[in-house]
Structure 1
Amino acid sequence: MIYTITFNPSLDYVVTLPHLQVGTINWNQAEEIFPGGKGINVSWVLQNLGVPTRILGFKAGFTGNEIQRLVEERGIPCSLLAVEKGFSRINVKIRAGEETALNGKGPEVTAADLDRLRNQLRNLTADDILVLSGSGPSGCDPSLYGDIAGEMARRKIPCVVDATGKLLAGALGARPFLVKPNGEELEELLGRSLPTEEALTEGARELQRRGARNVLISLGAQGALLVAETGKVYRHGAPQGTMVNTVGAGDSMVAGFLAGYLRNGDCAEALHWGICAGSATAFSMHLADRASIEELIKGK
């Protein structure tokens, strides 16, 4: 089972209109509501690929209940913990030529709430995988992901970290199985420009020296670069297609990589699956379904 944690899930209200005019009323052409958050996205695509998964995290208020309802409506097991203060956020995504987003803050998560989550994690075994992705709760300690990943490491449970800044940096020492920054996030973390493939590779190796086992760097339309714990470097371009959506593409890559890796432990195949899953989402209006991912996989 692959467990994902979404500390701050959302209802994503996605609207489409010809153009956005600031300072006046805009009328949309289409609207949809989805459960959002990076961990939820990973579980959504994993389920589409037939991989058993369960969503963990927090919810609050009527919006939190709706997030859980929408996820369970999809048939994805979901164990979001209810917290008392605030409500789960609503994120507005505006598609009007360019994409514009207005993201909410989310509820207050207390130390006692985090202890409840840690109690849930005691149910995981070495046969499971834990995915930590996205931002932590509002005002969380930067060591949060590192603390959780460290506990997983002590119990021999592989951990995937898809986060930025101090949350990612704090988790490296726990030797996570996989980290997935994009190029810009890696530059920000290391504090320097990485203009070439060689520079990106060296940046990935620096994360490995800090503890990461496998480093997957997503590069948008240029595909992805994987530096495996064996030291081998894998490079894969993105398939051709029309990009219509960037939301969830990186999360889909994580899901595809894990689904591919679980087949036979082959990094090249895992990278191919990750690229195809991420691209299939980028070519779709929402997270990619199994058919669209498999179409790209078979086109290799």
Structure 2
Amino acid sequence: MGRSSTLLDLTLVLLQILTPGALFFQNDPVDCLVTNWSEWSQPRAFGMVERHRKVLRPTENGGVHCPRLSEIVPIREHPTVNQTAKHFAQAFVSNRRQMTYTASGGRASMRILPRDLLIIIDSSGSVSPSEYEQSKQAMAEVVKLICGDIGPSFQDNRVAAIHYSDFVYEDFAFNKSFLVEEVVNNIYKITKHSGSTCTGDAFNYARVVMLQPEKGMRPNSQSIKDVLILTDGYSNCGSKVRIASERLKRVANVYALAIGMWQKQRFEIESYTSKPTADHLFSLKYFSDIPTFLDGLRLYSNDVYCVPFFGHQF
């Protein structure tokens, strides 16, 4: 009888402690607390700057919700070639993005994954033969600089390429070139087919044909899917680019290097890159800027820390 009475007393004490408003349990609203805004970034893409702030204390118990944590503002100042190279190194060459995966025990975790990178090159008539050669040089250099090796291993990056004008031409699939030297050589072998700019058709081909297991693309748990398009203008034929790009963005991250496109031409290309736009869209005013861009890209890529694949981000 005494033991039952003791257990009852302990139960009542525990209930008191866990009751809202009790001494050891607080239910008061807690408002979100954030840092001050960071400084505005250097100009990016066609001319936009951004700033950020971080959460110091999250909202609890119905307190005031956190305000916006980032702002992107368009400006009229186009980034310099050097600024574009630095940003490209930080946003594209780097591999600090994480993917969620489920371990064998059913526990969700995060890890760094290699890339399945599809390169798309605009081959339309507005790009001269010499400019086309510069485009291929830019893509070949990017392949050499991105974090991680290219190869058949599950920890290696894989690269594929297509080019387009009136039609879409498949150059090589993910399972055709497993060494960086092979990939670079195959990029330089890409021929030019002048014509109109059917960008929507290229996006549909990328999604339906190239980003498939039979082309060597791996499951989502094994790689990050990236698409990088180099283009100089509007789409003017074929499938509607906005519809095609929205479908493509559901299965891949879409980046763009726009060359020779001006402020008033920015809206279409902004619409088909992934969000946030400032980290997926890069622009140069002229094809003649490519050598300077590549020099800066090599320099700033030396400062990029490549996280080991399948390791946890710091």
TM-score, with structure 1 as normaliser:
0.36
Q: Which has the larger radius of gyration?
A: 2
TM-score, with structure 2 as normaliser:
0.34
The structure with the greater share of residues assigned to helix is 1
